[in-house]
Structure 1
């Protein structure tokens, strides 16, 4: 068994969840992230959390075997009532992965080049998480 790789920070301000991903994630890292997120989300009723803001600015990559774990994670978000996911720090590779993950989903996906571009559209979220400055 491999050890989990990847770091994350989760901040919740209902109805929005802010997730900062750092480094390279293997399958075990994605599963650990999913378990931590699910534990945190248990305090909220389905539908209370409707939007996620995911910062990929310092995200390096994920392994091919972690894609199925990511798809499970995404399905759970849809079942819990999420309506929108905003991704920050998008490059060509992450754009491709995100589109694959959310194929056949009703969740609205927004892609932003960097934090400044995101905050120009959502200034009320400035400072909502430590990395949103």
Structure 2
């Protein structure tokens, strides 16, 4: 049995989910992450979360089978009613390339921002959700 690799922090403030990914993920790491998110989602009414904001600064992608698990998770997000996912690339152009492929043909609007600052200049009201991690 393989040990899960990949770290994450997240916060939910309906209708938003803010997520930071760290290191590389293997399949088991994605499954662990998905299970943790499922437990957290149960605390909220169905379809309470519609938007995800994902910081990619420290994400190092993952294995091919973790990408397959990621696609399944994205399909599930679409089924749960997510309408928007905003990625804060912060220089991670390789992640942007792969994520565009993984989201292809799903009914969710996916946006990529060059930096957290660019995102916050467009959506300053979402800063408190993001800043709780940057201050730790």
Aligned to 1:111: 112
Displacement of 1:54: 0.6
Query: For 1:132 and 1:76, how far apart are their aligned partners in 2?
Result: 28
The TM-score, its normalising length taken from structure 2, stands at 0.91
Aligned to 2:9: 9
Given that 1:5 and 1:25 are in contact with CA atoms closer than 8 Å, whether structure 2 keeps it comes out as: yes
Deviations 1:3-54 (A, max 9, x none): 1111111100000000111111111111111111111112223321100001
Query: For 1:94 and 1:31, how far apart are their aligned partners in 2?
Result: 19
Structure 2 unmatched ranges of 5 or more: none
Displacement of 1:65: 1.3
Aligned to 1:37: 37
Aligned residues: 133
Task: Give the 4+ runs in structure 1 shifted more than 4 A.
Answer: none
Structure 1 unmatched ranges of 5 or more: none
Aligned counterparts, 1:1-133, within 5 A? 1-89=1-89, 91-129=92-130, 130-131=132-133
Structure richer in helix, relative to its length? 2
Given that 1:20 and 1:55 are in contact with CA atoms closer than 8 Å, whether structure 2 keeps it comes out as: yes
**3-state DSSP class of the match of 2:128?**
coil
Query: For 2:10 and 2:95, how far apart are their aligned partners in 1?
Result: 20
